[in-house]
Amino acid sequence: MATVFSPYAWLVPAFPFVAFAVLTAFGRSLSRTGAWLATAGTFLSLVLSLVIAIERMTGAAEDYRGGYEWLRIGDFSLPFGFEVTNLAALMLVVVTLVAFLVNLYSLGYMKGDDRISVFFAYVSLFTFSMLGLVLADNLLLLYIFWELVGVCSFLLVGFWYQKPEAKAAAKKAFIVTRIGDIGLLIAILLLFWYMPDHALDFVSLHNVFDPQNGGTISLGITTLIALLIFLGAAGKSGQFPLHVWLPDAMEGPTPISALIHAATMVAAGVFLVVRTFDVFEASQAAMDTVAIIGAFTAIFAATIGLAQNDIKRVLAYSTVSQLGYMMLALGVGSVPGAMFHLFTHAFFKALLFLGAGSVIHAVHTQDIREMGGLGRRMKITAWTFGIGALSLSGIPPLAGFWSKDAILAAALADRPWLFVVGAIAAFFTALYMSRLFFLVFFGKPRGEHGAQAKESPGVMTFPLLVLAALAVVAGFANTPWNGWLGQWLTGNAEADHASALAIVVSVAVGLLGFYIGWLVYVKGAVRRDVLSSRLPGVVRLLERKYYIDELYAWLFVRPLRALGDALTAFDTHVVDGAVRLVGAAANGIGKLNTRLQNGQLQTYGLAGLLALVVLVVAIAGRRFW
Amino acid sequence: MSMLASYLTLAAVLFCIGFYGVLTKRNAIIVLLSIELMLNAVNLNLVAFSKYGVNPALTGQIFSLFTMTVAAAEAAVGIAVLIVLYRSKATVNADEFDELRR
């Protein structure tokens, strides 16, 4: 069936880009109108994305490719094009929907900020870049947008640049993801080198790495390329050992944490792996690495999340952990599982972050020890946050349960020990979410602002309600007995991973985790400090995030600083010294000349006489040589 | 020939005295006078060559007459310049005339 709307897919990123351009040009004079303008731009994108997605769902439309030739170097031609596949259509809907809701929410959250138009300009630029990344039809174009979203993340994390922590966090986010980006760049260069005709578009990648035409590129190179791509994905998606930037990125405004650092940009790493999945499938070693790193990150970040006291940091570690789940799913070969979890996670994690923002807006603190009892004062926030928490904890029949179950079932079918790791991580997830939820919304108000907390305005609660609804129903897109989403995405009926064991275990660990949280933080049946008094070392280790930051500071930052200092010293003393020496020499010669040029005609005459004498002596003396 | 040598020597001595005066004297009028001395040394040379030179001719003497005329004009202009300078700077000290430096 021919497609009607897919050829216009390039308009989806165009709307936010126009909004960005207008806001950048006239932002100062627009202020609040500009914010509405950005929201309207994103809304248009959302409508178009929905139309495209619905069209592709109802009729089995073919993939659409459009664009034009960007560069031609010899035989190599680089297209500047977009590609609409079912995967891209799904991502378009997720990105535009979350971006639209976050825009709407920010109208309330950022109200009164002096730089509100700058904020919305950045958000629009980010939305444009993210949509471009989703639509890009070749790796190089994807890389450009990949860097653009990184820049936007940097700008928005450091949005409140007056705070030194925000500045440091922005730099950290940029530099750490940079490490991954270098990996991706090298992977692209290797692909350029080894691919037939230097093709970098995804269709050629798919064809070359298809097992049926295997052997075009040797296994070693394939593994290397896959691992380098994964390095890029790990940097963006906060996988161990490059996860350190994501929790610090919470210094940015909360809507940004919801949009960039929970729902969309950090999922770009997962999306990249999905997009280049053929490369990974061609190398078992790469798949193993992805699975193991993903599983390790899932459990590692979940344990840290247990001991954090900053509401946003708990959610940030939860994001890292959930992204680990997605990587785990990819590592065991389940693209539908990963994309499904990405899809549901985008909704419930954006919901949780926006809910956290609503709480922070009300009590002006991020420390959960100073909250409490907010459930009665902020009913909508509490209910929607609760739904998000339950969804994330994997309680049926909410969305998070179905997607997590899909991943666990896939892991069980592929490698049972990864299933065990995933189940333990799911238990921790339920535990830290219940701790967070009960500490914030139950009990007595502990902080100074808690008693006067008010519900946020409608422009902020509306997105919460929409996302809460989605966090409930999104899971039914792909249940064990109806793999519709997976089939739509991959085009073939997925081998059914449904397993009763996986369902039972994932329900059990979720409920158990939540029950323990309830016992500890509501009922008080177990004393809160039971663990910290018995095992202070473990709790400290978790609180300090396994000392990873300290380790990196000692291992990388300090040697690099020392090197930098040495080079600075060389620069200031040797290089600058040479420059200064040249300057001083010219200056000295100039001074000498001013002494000669004293304006006294008689001195000039004397100099002329002396010169004449010298000349005469020289000419006369030549005769005797 | 010996006559020519003594004239030339005298002229050289005269020229050197004049040149010395130009370089060392602080009073601008003395400097001007010294320049006249140098010119006259040249005149002496011209006359000496016209009488005792290899090809004695009247041309040299005529030439020296011209030089004297021009020197008179030059002295008039020079003195006029000095008077203007004196009016503007209230001095004839050559050291003070260092406008070239600025």
* Last residue of one domain, picked from the residues A90, A117, A137: A137
Nearest CB neighbour to A597, from listed B19, B95, B101: B101
Q: Does B93 touch chain A (CB under 8 A)?
A: no
Long-range contacts of A300-306 (CB under 8 A, 24+ apart): A300/A240, A300/A324, A300/A546, A301/A240, A301/A243, A302/A425, A302/A428, A302/A429, A302/A432, A303/A428, A303/A542, A304/A542, A304/A545, A304/A546, A305/A428, A305/A429, A305/A432, A306/A428, A306/A431, A306/A432, A306/A435, A306/A542
Q: Does A601 touch chain B (CB under 8 A)?
A: yes
CB contact under 8 A, B98 and A609: no
Domain ranges of chain B: 2-91
Supply A209's token pair.
């790495």
In chain A, what residues touch B31 (CB-CB under 8 Å)?
602
Taking domain B2-91, whether its CATH number is 1.25.40.10 is answered by no
Residue A474 lies in a domain: no
The whole domain housing A123 covers 1-137
Q: Does B30 touch chain A (CB under 8 A)?
A: no
- Residue A564 above 90 pLDDT? yes
CB contact under 8 A, B22 and A602: yes
pLDDT the model gives residue A264: 86
CA distance A175 to A169: 10
Q: Does B85 touch chain A (CB under 8 A)?
A: no
pLDDT digits (tens, 9 = 90+) for A218-275: 888 888 989 999 999 998 888 888 888 888 888 888 888 888 888 888 889 899 999 8
Domain count, chain A: 2
pLDDT digits (tens, 9 = 90+) for A578-617: 999 999 999 999 988 887 777 778 888 888 899 999 999 9
Between the CA of residue A549 and those of A183, A245, A373, A544, what are the distances in Å? 21, 10, 33, 8
ipTM: 0.80
Of all residues in chain B, the one with the smallest CA distance to A605 is B23
Residue A472 lies in a domain: no
- Residue A496 above 60 pLDDT? no
Residue A572 lies in a domain: yes
pLDDT the model gives residue A595: 78
Supply A33's token pair.
């109108």
Cross-strand partners of A136: A82
CB contact under 8 A, A598 and B99: no
Closest CA to A545 of A305, A325, A352: A305
Residue A159 lies in a domain: no
What DSSP line would sit under A409-469, residue for residue?
A: HHHHHH-HHHHHHHHHHHHHHHHHHHHHHHHHHSS---SSSGGG--PPPHHHHHHHHHHHH
Report H helices in A158-283. Answer: 164-194, 202-209, 219-237, 245-248, 254-258, 267-275, 277-281
pLDDT the model gives residue A258: 87
CB contact under 8 A, B19 and A606: no
Residue A615 lies in a domain: yes
Maximum CA extent, chain A: 119
Closest CA to A64 of A143, A135, A145, A166: A135
Q: Does B101 touch chain A (CB under 8 A)?
A: yes
Among residues of chain A, what percentage have pLDDT more than 90?
Answer: 18
- Residue A1 above 50 pLDDT? no
Closest CA to A149 of A266, A10, A255: A266
CB contact under 8 A, B22 and A599: no
Nearest CB neighbour to B98, from listed A598, A606, A609: A598
CB contact under 8 A, A606 and B23: yes
Nearest CB neighbour to B98, from listed A599, A605, A609: A599
Closest CA to A221 of A177, A285, A277, A274: A285
Residue A275's contacts (CB-CB under 8 Å, 6 or more residues apart) are A87, A142, A202
In chain B, what residues touch A597 (CB-CB under 8 Å)?
100-101
CA distance A321 to A262: 11
Residue A73 lies in a domain: yes
Taking the model in full, what pTM does it have? 0.77
Q: Does B94 touch chain A (CB under 8 A)?
A: yes
pLDDT the model gives residue B101: 67
pLDDT digits (tens, 9 = 90+) for A448-489: 666 677 777 888 888 888 889 888 888 887 776 666 777 777
In chain B, what residues touch A599 (CB-CB under 8 Å)?
97-102
- Residue B18 above 90 pLDDT? yes
Nearest CB neighbour to B23, from listed A598, A599, A602: A602
- Residue A333 above 50 pLDDT? yes
In chain A, what residues touch B19 (CB-CB under 8 Å)?
609
CA distance A269 to A9: 22
CB contact under 8 A, B99 and A599: yes
In chain A, what residues touch B15 (CB-CB under 8 Å)?
none
Count A/B contacts: CB-CB distance under 8 Å: 26
